[in-house]
Amino acid sequence: MTHLPACTIVSNNYLAMARVFAESYKLHHPGAEVYVCIVDRPSPKIRYQDLPFRTIFAQELPIPAFFNFAFRYGIMELNTAVKPYLLAHLRDQFGLDRALYFDPDILVLSPLERFAQSLENHSAILTPHITRGLDDAWRPSERIIQMSGTYNLGFLGLRLDDSTSEFLEWWQDRLYRFCLHDIHNGLFVDQKWMDLAPGFLPSVDIERSPAYNIAYWNLPHRKLEKKSEGWFVNGERAGFFHFSGIVFDHLEAISRYQSRVSSSSHPEIMPLFNEYRDRVAAAGHDEVRSTPYGFERFDTSNVYVPIFLRRALQRLDPYGIRWPNPFDDSDRNSFLAWLTEPIEFKGGTLNRAVLCLWEERPDLIETLPQVWGTDLHAYVDWLLSVSEEQRSGLASILLEGVSKRQLPGALRQLPVTTPFNGGIPYEKEPLLSLNLSDPGEAATWLNDAVPTVHATPVVTRLGLKIYELRDDVQKEFPDPVGEDQTTFTRWFLFSAVDEYRLHSDLIKPVLRSLPLRERLEWRMMRLRKKGALSRPRSLPYRARALDGNHPLIRRSGEAQKVASSHRRGEVLEFMTGKPQNGVNLAGYFGAASGVGQIVRGTAEAFERIGMPSVRVPFDVDPWARIFNGRILQPAGAPFDVTLMHVNADETPRALRMLPTATAASTFKIGYWFWELSHFPLALADRFDYLDELWAPSRFCQKSFEVLSTIPVRYVPPCVLAPEPNEMERSRFGMDAKRFYFFFAFDVFSIPERKNPAAVIDAFNLAAAKTRKDIGLILHVNQASQDRDLVRRLQDRAGSSRVIIHTDPLTRGNVDSLLACSDAYVSLHRSEGLGLPPIEALYLRKPVVATDYGGVTDFLDSTTGFPVGYDLVRLSSDYPPYPAGALWADPDIDSAAAAMVRVVEDPEESVRRANAGFVRVSGLYGLEAASARFGRELQRVFERDVSSSARRVSPPDSLPARTDAMLRSRS
């Protein structure tokens, strides 16, 4: 019969073992073909044509950006990462429909016909590490086996047909990025992923016979015996033995990976170990074992690549977008040149290589947390005084340019943003990874109401998480969702708020569920605390969350898109042929918020002009992308310009989610939104993290410029046109013939600023002044988070012609609701930009809006119906907007008159709506924004972006600086 083909994977130093495996397999399977994938560069000292198998070099496999792939992995990781690519290659190039994979340190002891029969009926064959329990007093323990994988991937039988094609693609995708040796965090190269195979494949044979894949991990349960006809195990003919971790000079240890068995406890196996050692030696192991690994050094300089630089490339450029061959160090755009480029700071000069080393070493981060600040001198002293081994293999050439000195006053110390330590928190301490004083998008998840016995007061997920942390609270309130629901809620509001410095967004859902009397009592208590409701201080950076978001936020799936979406051939003229000219585009790509809409628009504009860019999402669950405590962004962040669509308060946290070399040395541009005419002094230090700020509106620009120490440029964003679904008015309860005004807002966008009550009042007044049949539809996003607000709006409306829409809607359905309406009204007290009015004008809907804030860039008496206002001071805090700040109070009579004119003068309404469409298309449309971004980035690229650390030094006192600036402007 025809025997199954077999394959294995080695580097040059293991070729003798591969030879012994191939000979032993062919001995028991005459005529069978053996394929060996060599994960190495060809060596002139090895005659590959004389080897007893067919050789395939790993770079022949269909692996995108292979040399980038090879650089990112150590030798063991790379040898395992190519496995699914080899199996697919055997299928596609050699026409194999099934194959057996073996590790090269395996000796076949008898025919394996059983596997051929198994693959007739199953898609795969797996061998479990153990089939009985182990005593955990020795290595490996059951726990370590669970962490490294249920099945040992030293052997795998696989059909190569339609039943496994999708599985192989999935496995390739995972190993392209995550074939990592990090057992304690649930990753062990290619092996751990195979735990999912029985669920993914139609039929898997779990081979439990003691005859196969005999190795140190199962020897306690297997008794080997040598007989005249061969080796037997537990009375059954042995199939193959796996010499994993064998040390040829110390066979007594059995394997360097364990302490459970030895030659003294299992003397019967020593003849087999002696035989294997002799066969490997006869195959030329002494000649090949010292062959240098072909992927261990840079090409020209011959500098050794330490493991921390491989890890750095995993974070920086995992798809080879900027450095498809990082080994190539022959020109000034190489990865090595980038690593050794001097970066100047106030206290001296570092380079990216030593920043990458610092990021990889928790001991250095703990001892020297401010290496580009006050600890720079100490770090340089350490780098120049210890050996290369102590520096994790950092060769002297990688210290190029590193020095300490006090540079002139034109330079300043960067604020410290230490990389987040992404170790998985203890089971009872999930809140330690979140910043509760500034939760960002995580507020939505934390505010989810949990099931309780009584409808009110509300107990949120955050309340229960805090409850789990506190033994004293558990004793005081044994039943927080039942008998103790009310008293526990009072503790949350009157104690936990201060103890955990909770942001106001985390308080509102609970507070609004209380009766009015108790709400007033709480507010009086806060007033007695003299301003405790002002914006909480941020936690120290090292205690901040790595991400303000949570798994419930929709994933963007960028990892699968980035390689195909990058247009290598479409580089604009302003790119000047430099591959390093591109943008790390960061933001909340999956968020339904305005900031999310804007970053998606920027991404579309970059696509339009062919701008090389990678997306750095801040709203994707990071835990699935953490390795060795560091976040692996889906496509890295390889470019020298970073554009961050995050607001001022989130900027330090966002920088911590970038690779340190990117955060410390790139030209960083912030794209901030702010809704008041005065930027808060408490956030003035956030300018120090950036090199430049883009303002989406003139209103924002003026607000930022008062305190900014960096250039603030007016750069209107790209606002994508709405894409409504095909829906009838009846879907939203709208009368077919009635004229509807529309307004939408989110309960977390501060209802007092959005001002829905004024919209209702103006509509009711307009309805009384016109005979036209008009209606108002008001969509409240996340209405479940503030049901009391919804009730108040319904009471205020008092009319069947006002529809308060509270059902959750997709983005497309919100666009449909806008399309079904006839006009848009926004009586906001302030807007940083005004996205809904822009989107309404895209659909040629008349817009009535307060003549204040960012809307004034596009709305006037020719493009819409502006509403007059009076400036008023906030009488109380509406975090993040403090009491005493100014915003607009729209004139209700003026708004009602404008709404009446919209319905009674349709020709004028159409004329202004059409003019508004032209205005917003020319200002925010894809074509206009693309050209504008191109010009702005051309200007940035023409700067010396590599010297982004060269900044103007601020005065010692931030308040003194800002006071002086305010006096100079008055």
Assess contact for 634 and 661: CB atoms under 8 A: no
Q: Is 499 exposed, middle or buried (0-12, 13-18, 19+ CB in 10 A)?
A: exposed
Greatest mean pLDDT range, 185-189, 347-351, 798-802, 849-853: 849-853
Please give the pLDDT value at position 555: 24
Question: If pLDDT is split at 50, 70 and 90, which confidence band does 431 have?
Answer: low
Please give the pLDDT value at position 741: 97
Residue 304 predicted with pLDDT over 80 = yes
Which single residue is written with the structure tokens 């403090």? 882
The least confident of 23-27, 426-430, 557-561, 881-885 is 557-561
Residue 96 predicted with pLDDT over 60 = yes
Closest to 44 (Cα-Cα) out of 12, 10, 22: 12
Question: Rounded to the nearest 10 degrees, how much is the dihedral formed by the CA atoms of 890, 896, 899, 905?
Answer: -130
Question: If pLDDT is split at 50, 70 and 90, which confidence band does 865 have?
Answer: very high
d(CA 880, CA 434): 19
d(CA 926, CA 929): 5
Please give the pLDDT value at position 785: 87
Q: Which residue has the higher pLDDT, 953 or 189?
A: 189
Question: Rounded to the nearest 10 degrees, how much is the dihedral formed by the CA atoms of 653, 659, 660, 664?
Answer: -80
Task: Calculate mean pLDDT across residues 46-61.
Answer: 94
Please give the pLDDT value at position 730: 87
Residue 479 predicted with pLDDT over 50 = yes
Q: Which residue has the higher pLDDT, 514 or 92?
A: 92
Q: Is 11 exposed, middle or buried (0-12, 13-18, 19+ CB in 10 A)?
A: buried
Please give the pLDDT value at position 908: 97
Please give the pLDDT value at position 27: 94
Longest dimension (CA), the chain: 108
Which neighbouring-strand residues pair with 848?
Answer: 825, 865
Task: Calculate mean pLDDT across residues 231-249.
Answer: 91
Which single residue is written with the structure tokens 């120049």? 384
Q: Each residue of 594-636: pLDDT tens digit?
A: 889 999 999 999 999 999 999 999 887 777 777 777 888 889 9
Residue 300 predicted with pLDDT over 70 = yes
Please give the pLDDT value at position 32: 94
Residue 800 predicted with pLDDT over 90 = no
Task: Calculate mean pLDDT across residues 741-756.
Answer: 93
Please give the pLDDT value at position 493: 86
Closest to 670 (Cα-Cα) out of 585, 555, 790, 739: 585
CA distances from 641 to 666, 670, 827, 928, 945 (A): 5, 11, 38, 22, 7
Q: What phi and psi, each to the nearest 5 degrees, are found at residue 693?
A: -125, 135
Greatest mean pLDDT range, 133-137, 151-155, 528-532: 151-155
Task: Calculate mean pLDDT across residues 654-672.
Answer: 91
Residue 94 CB coordination number (10 Å): 14
Helix axes 906-924, 892-904, angle to 10 degrees: 110
Please give the pLDDT value at position 414: 59
What is the percent of the chain where pLDDT is above 90? 57
Question: If pLDDT is split at 50, 70 and 90, which confidence band does 957 have?
Answer: very low
Please give the pLDDT value at position 955: 26
The least confident of 428-437, 547-556, 746-755, 799-808 is 547-556
Please give the pLDDT value at position 432: 53
d(CA 371, CA 374): 7
What is the percent of the chain where pLDDT is above 70? 88
Q: Is 906 exposed, middle or buried (0-12, 13-18, 19+ CB in 10 A)?
A: middle
Please give the pLDDT value at position 461: 82
Task: Calculate mean pLDDT across residues 394-403.
Answer: 91
Residue 567 predicted with pLDDT over 90 = no
Q: If you write DSSP's letter for every residue of 137-150 in order, what string do you get?
A: TSSSPHHHHHHH-S
At 805 the three-state DSSP class reads: strand
Task: Calculate mean pLDDT across residues 38-57.
Answer: 94
Q: Each residue of 702-734: pLDDT tens digit?
A: 999 999 999 999 999 999 999 888 888 888 989
Q: Each residue of 158-186: pLDDT tens digit?
A: 999 999 999 999 999 999 999 988 877 77
Residue 283 predicted with pLDDT over 90 = yes
Q: If you write DSSP's letter for every residue of 626-674 in order, what string do you get?
A: EETTEE--TT---SSEEEEE--GGGHHHHHHTS-HHHHHHSEEEEE---
Please give the pLDDT value at position 482: 82
d(CA 93, CA 838): 55
Q: Each residue of 677-690: pLDDT tens digit?
A: 999 998 999 999 99
Please give the pLDDT value at position 125: 96
At 587 the three-state DSSP class reads: strand
Q: Which residue has the higher pLDDT, 741 or 143?
A: 741
Closest to 821 (Cα-Cα) out of 837, 832, 834: 837
Mean pLDDT for all residues in the chain: 85
Which residues, in sequence order, are CB contacts of 324 under 8 Å at separation 6+? 65, 67, 68
The least confident of 294-298, 360-364, 856-860, 909-913 is 360-364
Task: Calculate mean pLDDT across residues 894-919.
Answer: 97
Q: Which residue has the higher pLDDT, 866 or 559?
A: 866
Please give the pLDDT value at position 561: 37
d(CA 330, CA 842): 51
Closest to 832 (Cα-Cα) out of 703, 707, 685: 703
Please give the pLDDT value at position 556: 29
Assess contact for 81 and 193: CB atoms under 8 A: no
Task: Calculate mean pLDDT across residues 730-744.
Answer: 92
Which residues, in sequence order, are CB contacts of 416 under 8 Å at separation 6+? 369, 370, 372, 373, 541
Which residues, in sequence order, are CB contacts of 806 under 8 Å at separation 6+? 779, 780, 783, 784, 790
Assess contact for 814 and 877: CB atoms under 8 A: no
Closest to 450 (Cα-Cα) out of 502, 404, 489, 476: 489
Residue 542 predicted with pLDDT over 60 = no
Residue 550 predicted with pLDDT over 50 = no
Element (H, E) at 99: strand 98-102
Assess contact for 610 and 580: CB atoms under 8 A: no
Task: Calculate mean pLDDT across residues 483-500.
Answer: 84
CA distances from 349 to 379, 859, 949 (A): 11, 50, 10
d(CA 89, CA 85): 6
Element (H, E) at 384: helix 376-385
Question: If pLDDT is split at 50, 70 and 90, which confidence band does 960 have?
Answer: very low
Which neighbouring-strand residues pair with 342?
Answer: 351
Question: Rounded to the nearest 10 degrees, how much is the dihedral formed by the CA atoms of 147, 153, 156, 161?
Answer: 70
d(CA 362, CA 380): 17
The least confident of 95-99, 427-431, 453-457, 484-488 is 427-431
Task: Calculate mean pLDDT across residues 7-14.
Answer: 96
d(CA 722, CA 889): 29
Assess contact for 666 and 629: CB atoms under 8 A: no
The least confident of 311-320, 441-450, 792-801, 872-881 is 441-450
Please give the pLDDT value at position 453: 73
The least confident of 454-458, 736-740, 758-762, 841-845 is 454-458
Question: If pLDDT is split at 50, 70 and 90, which confidence band does 968 have?
Answer: very low
Task: Calculate mean pLDDT across residues 873-893.
Answer: 92
Residue 735 predicted with pLDDT over 50 = yes
Closest to 566 (Cα-Cα) out of 659, 627, 671, 638: 638
Which residues, in sequence order, are CB contacts of 408 under 8 Å at separation 6+? none
Task: Calculate mean pLDDT across residues 546-569.
Answer: 30
Q: Each residue of 887-905: pLDDT tens digit?
A: 999 999 999 999 999 999 9
Task: Calculate mean pLDDT across residues 355-376.
Answer: 89
Residue 232 predicted with pLDDT over 80 = yes
Q: Which residue has the higher pLDDT, 473 or 74?
A: 74
